Structure 1
Amino acid sequence: MHTILIAAQKGGAGKSTLAAHLSTLADRDGKTLLVDTDPQGSLSFWRRRRTAQTPVLARASALAMPDVLGRARCSGVAWAVVDSPPHNTSLISSLMSRATLTVIPVRPGPFDLDAVGTTLAMARRLKAPMACIINAAPPFTCGDRQVSVVVETRAALSRMGAPVLPGQVSQRASLSHALISGQSVDEYDPHGRATSEIAAMWSMISELARNFPCQASD
């Protein structure tokens, strides 16, 4: 079983939105468990509105995570996508140590760049595999060119030594509209730009995860 952790120690990075959309794509690759560890419960809000039976959602605390992941592995789950809370260093550290890959969403802008250093340092200290995603970015301009703030954010992350996935997830209304109706964006607007961006990210994330050994449960 591969465990994908979505982590950022700053609120508003878009972790829950990414977790919901990525988990439905993961479920097409194999049985998937979506784990909500954020007390805000955004994923639980989405799951209650969802008519599809998958992905299955579990709420979990830090103490419950080893048991949740262990039972998931025993039941044949191929992918666990975990949404983490911000501002909880001990929980994020615990989740990181169990993750196959930690995905760190970064919004373009100085505040998010300033905050991401703490998450990067934690991953390095734990020797946890990680990848940054430029998230909630201004859409591409004519000619499919990234706007300057996205280019600058990517360059800044590279200077910090952070691995950054190509492309971006743009700020698009369809991402939110889908969640309100309990859908993922590929279900809500299968041929839209948001769907192609999320699908490209999942393709890269899943390929990276397969290159790392699955973490053992406690």
Structure 2
Amino acid sequence: MLAQVFSVANQKGGTGKTTLSMNLAAGLSKRARTLIIDADPQGSAGQWAGLSPDERPFPVAVISIASNLPREIKRMREDYRYLVVDCPPTLETGVAQAAMTVSDKVLIPVLPSPVDLWASVRLAEAIEQVKIYNEALQPYILVNQLEPRNAMSRGMQQALDEFNIPALENGLRRRAIYRSSALEGSSVYCMGKRGEPAAQEIDALIEEILKS
């Protein structure tokens, strides 16, 4: 069976794209063989994994691919069950679009404000162009850094309803453990009891995207 390919993309920086990629891959790796493809020239995913101690390496291998991304992804689909592509925070290079041409789903992390969602309009337009070549591509908005005690604002909910890309029911809350795990080159799954609430929400997210 060929691997499912999940691209994580947003042309706006600071939305938690790499945090989502790394923890999504860590959760998927508990189910089957998974690989992270670092398609961002900044190399954030590789740097994250590189911080892990030798005695406790990051649970998923990270490889960097700078060119011929669709060809390389197609080649690796036979060796893994899941591929997670951490796309660069720009549309100018065409790398994100190239990844999406061979992806099953694209996850778009956005911060919980209408302004941040509107900043993703160009990405939504790019996805429509990609669908000319990959009709089966399924895009989803993922609301990131939700405040634990605050419900999503009415303005944000209205903006989501008006956006032409569906939002996942499961979002990610603002949790210090995500930053802590990054500093340790780890995932929330390896952070003991402190990481359990975050791991549970990643698991819920995975269940939703695998069933969608």
Q: TM-score range by the shorter chain?
A: 0.7 to 0.9
Give the equivalent residue in structure 2 for 1:182: 185
Q: Deviations over 1:129-160 (max 9, x none)?
A: 11110011212x2xxxx5243x5323311112
Indicate the residue corresponding to 1:138 in structure 2: 147
CA distance in 2: counterparts of 1:111 and 1:175, whole angstroms:
23
Q: What amino acid sits opposite 1:93 in the alignment?
A: Q
Higher helix share: 1
Contact 1:135 1:170 survives alignment (8 Å) = yes
The residue that corresponds to 1:56 in the other structure is 61
Is the CA contact (8 Å cut-off) linking 1:154 and 1:164 kept in structure 2?
no
| Code of the aligned partner of 1:136 | Q
8 A contact 2:74–2:102 mirrored in 1: no
Is residue 43 of structure 1 aligned with residue 45 of structure 2?
yes
C-alpha displacement of 1:193: 2.2
1:99 deviates by 0.6
Cα-to-partner distance string for 1:35-73 (whole Å, 9 max, x where unaligned): 111121111111112323631111011x23134323322
Q: Distance in 2 between matches of 1:110 and 1:53?
A: 34
Match in the other structure for 1:213? none
Residue type at the aligned position of 2:83: A
Shift of 1:175: 0.7
Q: Percent identity?
A: 26
Partner of 1:82 in structure 2?
85
RMSD across aligned positions (CA): 1.8
> How many positions carry a matched residue from both structures?
200
Asked if 1 retains the 8 angstrom alpha-carbon contact of 2:34 and 2:60, the reply is yes
Is the CA contact (8 Å cut-off) linking 2:22 and 2:187 kept in structure 1? yes
1:114 maps to which of 103, 114, 118: 118
Q: 1:33 aligns with which of 32, 35, 42?
A: 35
Q: Check whether the contact 2:170–2:208 (CA below 8 A) recurs between aligned residues.
A: no
Gap runs ≥5 in structure 2? 132-136
Secondary structure of the residue that 1:38 maps to in structure 2? Answer: coil
Once residues 118 and 58 of structure 2 are traced to their aligned partners in structure 1, the CA distance between those partners, rounded to angstroms, is 39
| Cα separation, partners in 2 of 1:155 and 1:182, compared to 1, 3 Å | same
- 1:69 maps onto 2:78 in alignment: no
- For the 8 Å contact 1:24–1:54, the answer to whether it is kept is yes
Cα distance in 2 for residues equivalent to 1:170 and 1:186: 16
TM-score, length basis structure 1: 0.84
User: Is the aligned partner of 1:169 residue 2:172?
Assistant: yes
